[in-house]
Amino acid sequence: MRHRIAVIGTSETTRSVALLLVARDDSHVLLTGEDGRPLQAAATALGVEPSVDGPVHVTELTAADLVVVCEADGVPVHEVRQRAPSALLIVATADPEGDARSLQDHLRWPRQRVIGIDAQAAGAPAAQRAAAAVRLVNFVLADRGQTVEATVQRTAEGGDGAWGSVPVMIGAVGVRSIPADGVAPGLSLPAGA
């Protein structure tokens, strides 16, 4: 089964995310702002079956499993909510906390389905932001309940200060647990984590 992964944006981060995702044999990558032909050629060179479309119109996001937002400006929130109502949203912008909060407010999705890259990656160059986003994609699709640093809404009440970068357990449903003390229940994190 191929996972439909929509990548929204027209930036270097967008292209890097798409390039990293194209190596997944189990995914169909939909690019809303980039040409997919060069990535199809890259997939062929990597020896994987190319499954990249782009640029696609937002109406083609129907049934996307994951939506990776690389630029918060211009996200077609209404279309995403209508066409991919059960997707997980991964925010790979330079401000994952602010952009994830804003997108969640507009989408009105449960907090476990909106995940931003960690704060350290957010301040890094585009390639590192892309790697952090694809790492989250891999954790979601692997569905092993792995713990990773991510930017999430830490409290159910929301509001200022409720978002932040903490270790969370991630699986196919998104965030499985957001511990109050930053350590997932039943898990021991390595020293310095």
- Listed by start position, the domains of the chain span 3-145
Match 């918060």 to its residue by tokens.
Answer: 72
Helices (H), 36-184: 37-46, 77-83, 96-107, 119-122, 126-142
- Which residues sit opposite 27 in a β-bridge? 3
pLDDT at position 161 is: 56
Fold exhibited by the domain 3-145 = Rossmann fold (3.40.50)
pLDDT at position 134 is: 96
pLDDT tens readout for residues 141-151: 999 989 999 99
* pLDDT at residue 183 greater than cutoff 70: no
- The stretch 50-54 carries a mean pLDDT of 82
pLDDT tens readout for residues 114-150: 999 999 999 999 999 999 999 999 999 999 989 999 9
